[in-house]
Amino acid sequence: METLAMHISNGIINGPVAAAFGVIALAALTVCVRRGRLDLDDRLAPMAGLVAAFIFAVQMLNFPIFTAGVSGHLLGGALAAMLVGPWVGALCIAVVLVVQALVFGDGGVAMLGLSITNMAVIAVAVAYLLIALLLRVLPRTTTGLAVTAFVAASVSVVVAAMGFVVQYWLGGTADLGGNLAGLAGTMAASHLFIGIGEGLITATTVVTVAKVRPDLVYALRKPAASATIATVGGVR
């Protein structure tokens, strides 16, 4: 049976660790719901639905990592963070993960807390922190926006993969072969390549949206990035 390193199958991590991360995920999503309500408006609500649908589609593409049947996939954390913000973005990915687990059996239901922590919380948080930093220092052009999206997506994917490594270290039960350092190295290397692909997709998507409707890009709606809206929405 296939094991998904990011969509974690039942039995890969022991019960106590899975339960602990379930509590962490629930607490994080509760904060996201409260903060996300402040962001939702007539622009963000429909965009959130489109983002969730897009992420659902790209996460169906899996890439083999181990010969034992472990695979990784695109996450969408940076894309969600840039288009709908960290709070609503995390909720979008969490909803996608729940649907995939309950309807399509993609990842174990008992492991949802682990998967949500990695992909909806860690990936989105890391991506948005990088976005906030890079939009302050890079030229406020389409090139700067593309570089921001690419770097945020690439790094967030690798960091989320390391989240799985930590979880496996805390309570791994399945034999994925080799030691923890080997697991970390394999996960980092494979997800670096996945991250590069996700970075290209994220950059292309965000720049395309920004050229047509910069007001729909959450990262460009913040006061610190107001100048970016005028530049990206222009001819440059």
Domain count along the chain: 1
pLDDT, position 31: 96
SS3 for 69?
coil
Q: Domain range spanning residue 219?
A: 3-232
What parts of the chain have a pLDDT lower than 70? 1-7, 61-73, 176-178, 222-236
| Bridge partner list, 70 | 3
pLDDT digit string, tens, across residues 187-199: 888 888 888 888 9
Q: pTM score, two decimals?
A: 0.85
Name the DSSP letter for residue 120.
I
pLDDT, position 29: 96
Whose CA is closest to 216, among 52, 78, 83? 83
Q: Mark out the alpha helices in the chain (DSSP H runs).
A: 15-39, 44-58, 77-103, 112-116, 123-137, 142-171, 180-212, 226-232
pLDDT, position 65: 56
pLDDT, position 6: 59
- Residue 25 tokens read as 């995920």
pLDDT, position 116: 95
Task: Look up the CATH number of the domain holding residue 125.
Answer: 1.10.1760.20
pLDDT digit string, tens, across residues 121-138: 999 999 999 999 999 999
